[in-house]
Structure 1
Amino acid sequence: MRFTFEHHDPETYRRKARFISLAMAGQLIVFALVFSQLLALAFGGGFWFNVLGVVLGLVATSLVFAVLRERPWMGEMRYVWQLKHHLSRVSAYLPALRRGMGEENVTALDVMAFYHQGMAQLAELNGRTLDDDAELIAERETVRLARQAHGLDERVEGFDPDDLSAFKRG
């Protein structure tokens, strides 16, 4: 399934991410305590029942999260998770993609452009900068110049995971 870049306000994303993280942590604590107390009442307590209570709390929190993640107000979170997932997949192919770039493979140039755009967008959404990584900056410039030499736009609209099938992993 093709992934397409979307614009999201970084401040809105960070605010929602903080809120959701705190809510989930609080929910985990409450569930873990409730399950631990219920197990202690039913079976007399003990260390392993407390551990089981925490595990059950984690499972319950995960189930609630799985149900809520499809809600419209979770759109930014879903987008960032998908972006991270695709960037992770591409990073497994970076050596092969770099070889492809050296061979002037247009698909490799497209995927590498996606990778650098995605990394930049992720950094922006998280309120970070990529200016401290000289290798990444140099490679981004190489990709930009190679795309320009082939008459391609500097930016891509998205990424098709099927494009990676032409490259050998790692």
Structure 2
Amino acid sequence: MKLKQIDKQLYRSRLNIVIVACIASLAVLSLAISQTLILLFPSETGSHFHWNLLGVIVSAIALVTALLKLKAHPKMYEVVYVWELKQALNLIYRKNKKLLAAAEQGNSDAMLALQFSYDGSRQLWKLDDNTITMDSLNTAQAQLDKWVEQYSVELDVSNYQSDILKSF
């Protein structure tokens, strides 16, 4: 994955549209499906929990299917990019201890993965206005910069590929 510049206002606008559309469609679909099932198959006891639950499950499946089909739509570009960035950062985070240990020993692939993680996290946190933990990120970046200088490694995050994580 490559880091790309994303317009924060456009991203926030489109994310809000996606969130509202998901909430509205989930509510409307689940109510429509469950009410239709209750109308077709009324319960003598008055409990319709199973029909309500089925309505929510079916509408959630329909919503996920629709989102996957709309994933390639140009108006979803920013939202999908951030979703994929979060997935890529999660893969790195799962290997963080091993990456830090390898980077401390001078492994350039580990340093590259960490640099991608720091740059991606910085971008993500700025897009989401989550700058509270930026100090810890700056501390980790300073440590990585020391290792880069110590081992004379050049890092270019545009060369990052998730395949390098397999060796950790």
- TM more than 0.5: yes
List runs of 5+ in structure 1 lacking aligned partners. none
Residues matched between the structures, number: 163
Give the equivalent residue in structure 2 for 1:138.
139
Residue 127 (structure 1) shift: 1.7
Aligned AA (2:50): W
Instruction: Measure the CA separation in 1 of the matches of 2:28 and 2:159.
Output: 40
List runs of 5+ in structure 2 lacking aligned partners. none
Give the equivalent residue in structure 1 for 2:70.
68
| SS state at 2:157 partner | coil
Aligned runs of 1:81-96 on 2, under 5 Å? 81-96=83-98
CA RMSD of aligned residues (A): 1.6
Change in CA separation of 1:158 and 1:12 when aligned onto 2, cut-off 3 Å: farther
Structure with the larger RCO, 1 or 2 (CA within 8 Å, 6+ apart): 1
Give the equivalent residue in structure 1 for 2:16.
18
Deviations 1:9-66 (A, max 9, x none): 1111111111110111000001001101110111015221111111111112122212
Give the equivalent residue in structure 2 for 1:159.
160
TM-score normalised to structure 1 length: 0.89
Aligned AA (1:125): L
Give the equivalent residue in structure 2 for 1:8.
6
| SS state at 2:54 partner | helix
TM-score normalised to structure 2 length: 0.90
Whether the 8 Å CA contact 1:5–1:158 is kept in 2: the answer is no
Aligned runs of 1:40-79 on 2, under 5 Å? 40-44=38-42, 46-79=48-81
Residue 128 (structure 1) shift: 2.0
The share of aligned pairs that are identical, in percent, is: 26
Give the equivalent residue in structure 2 for 1:39.
37
Residue 151 (structure 1) shift: 4.8
Give the equivalent residue in structure 2 for 1:109.
111
